[in-house]
Amino acid sequence: MGSDAGHETQSIPLFLHGLDSSIEGTKAQWFRRHFPGVRLQNYTGDLDERLAQLEAQVAGLERLVLVGSSFGGLMAACFALRSPERCRRLVLLAPALNFVDFHPPAAPIAVPTLVVTGAHDTVCPPALILPLARASFADLEVRLVDDDHMLHRTFPTLDWPQLLT
């Protein structure tokens, strides 16, 4: 096997931060320290503008592992619904699927998706987002954890080496 063949199977992990966050936020800094291969970029504007920025960032790339926090989880879900063939996995951390502009597809897509949501999340309550996640993703794992919207207790304990591959 040449180096090109090995590259084809390599996943490309990206972290998509929340609405009022950036790559200077807690989770992005954690990835920078522990998994420097995770791609980070600041996103600005409304959902459509942020999705256009993500599209430009991943132009020509496939086998994407999108890790999205809150509004970044909404971005990851929207991207996957538009381009499921480009996504290897989604890790949605307290995803803002309760955002008014999010609508599940006619049929759930088969991208492997992990939703981690806090039982005490008042921003993206599990009762609102989990039905939307179930309607959107056929290959869905849900972890309802004893945490709040920020998932600060849970986030560092996830099996990131496995999730990012």
pLDDT tens over the chain, length 165 residues: 334 444 457 999 999 999 999 999 999 999 999 999 999 999 999 999 999 999 999 999 999 999 999 999 999 999 999 999 999 999 999 999 999 989 999 999 999 999 999 999 999 999 999 999 999 999 999 999 999 999 999 999 999 999 999
Tally of CB atoms within 10 A around 136? 26
**pLDDT value at residue 9:** 73
For residues 164 and 137, is the Cβ–Cβ distance under 8 A? no
| CB contact burial 48-82 (16+ within 10 A = b; e otherwise) | eebbebbeeebeeeeebbbbbbbbbbbbbbbbbbe
**pLDDT value at residue 131:** 98
**pLDDT value at residue 68:** 98
What is the C-alpha separation between 111 and 101, in angstroms, rounded? Answer: 21
End-to-end CA distance of the chain: give it in Å, rounded.
20
